[in-house]
Structure 1
């Protein structure tokens, strides 16, 4: 990410990141191009996430990159641009990494006690402790706040958890699952770190997906799973605390939606420069250039939006409505941008070898996960009108 990047039209990366952070992202981009991009078409075709992906990414230590000050490495701005670069290559790769660096790490750092965070966060940063975020359920997604059905009951210093979770990314490869369950004693939601191989835990892979195919999602059954009190995340005492975690995570998805658009535009530009029709490259056709300009407009406006959101968050300004607005807008624009990229490629736009097809399909998943368009719109609408439309 530099000012010479034609898709960062206003040089936002250089304006907001140090030279060391830019160098770390450049190293990430090089690794993605050389070691991961060549694997993606086959991974998408077979719906598998190659071990080589994390084998290449983990040594980069992107949560504590060399030479980057700790405050910047932990900033919303740096993690945002990191997600942008990852998603620009592939949304499944970005989702896989963010499952650890965003969802699971946020649960540990901000849901755990100071002592828990100090003990576990270094292991999360290094991937010595791999985890995932298990909130969504088979019958409860958008209504999870009031509908969460997984139950936990305490007996002495041990909790017993029963329930099911669904769409949990990276569960099969995780060491622990951050499971959210409703305390039968007080009705409030609590969070627990559950060993994936604990008695009573069953993890079933979801198959048949047409989006984010390499990303492994799972259906999890928890049948009488016993968890010690010391593995309960001590700062999650109610849904309000869970909402605080989600507020921090939603901006990650907005950055992924923006990076996905940049990747789709990269694919379209590469194609129109080499594809010829009527005796000349199609990049010289007026109708094609109009579509490219629209795509760049979407990328530029979304990048400006998420950059400002991260600047606010790094200044200590966190709000549900701002995160929801960013996710809503960027995910909606991602659908349009990816569709335009596929359209520019014509029939070849549905072939994996040209990359646009992956972004086109993946935009549909990004549009819905981490808060649907409708739910985010209601959060924003409530902040504007002062009246809740939730039922």
Structure 2
């Protein structure tokens, strides 16, 4: 594995101490001595030449058997061991989470140690997903810069990375700029999904927009609890959305519906830069608002014929009386292929869907049933959603109990046999 004999000896001594600690326990003085040995052993591991790390399938290959850090060990020792064990071998893993320790600065890895730990990422040809956890716990500016510099370099070289999760806590505009510039140098980037979590700091949204623009294959953007969508935020985010010509799906989570309506209107209404290239799939998660707020949202939908799939997840304040009919109107008024709801009507129903068949003219709806086949959206009690009868476009339909069902456009009379 390329590990020096001196390190092998030191490693064996550490294991011997572990066995003694687990078997008999240690005094406070002995624990301090053991902690220091663990500290020195791990430091040796992190200072090994990068080529040696790349020869291993896992960082666990450095150890002959599983090891555990004693609870009496210092926070820094626990941090350093968990960093190595958690990240695994960054050259051969398909998914990597970069998670700085939530201790004070002296307990985290140094910039050079982060560089050695993450450097194998640049030689990883199978990496598909990377998650950068919020770096709010890192007080060292140099350490943060090293992490984002390495990720930015990765974005500039990787042809396999498809999913990038960014927690915005602690991420400055300069950090985001490093990521954007990395993507800019990689026309072969395979990045398909960008998930942004948390409120961005001042000045970072414009760089996020450039990041979106520099990802030529980006199809899915997920904005999760990115803060209030006031006038300034709406302007910045709509400009960011407008910088992508490849975006197909937009997921918005934990935002106010009114702000979402303004954002979508600014980004995709007639006359905007993306009015002809708007997203086709829109997914809303954990949205709360008044009926008036939802009405404003559906007013945006009505003239927007580009959206073919609309999803609601955990929107518990959707009122069936006020919103359900608006959903039906949305399906009727334009070419919407599917509307999915999951955990969005409280206890009334777990999940259901509206499906529109484009072959049929808009002349009402009918309920039909499936046994083993059919839509994957389950309705536990159909009548609790629709009531015994519901009038749609002048036609009355009866909703009966069914395990699986959907609502589709009723075929014209000429097609009914």
The bucket for the TM-score relative to the shorter chain is under 0.3
Which structure's relative contact order is higher, taking Cα pairs within 8 Å and 6+ residues apart? 1
> Which structure shows the bigger proportion of residues in helix conformation?
1
Query: TM-score, normalization: structure 1?
Result: 0.24
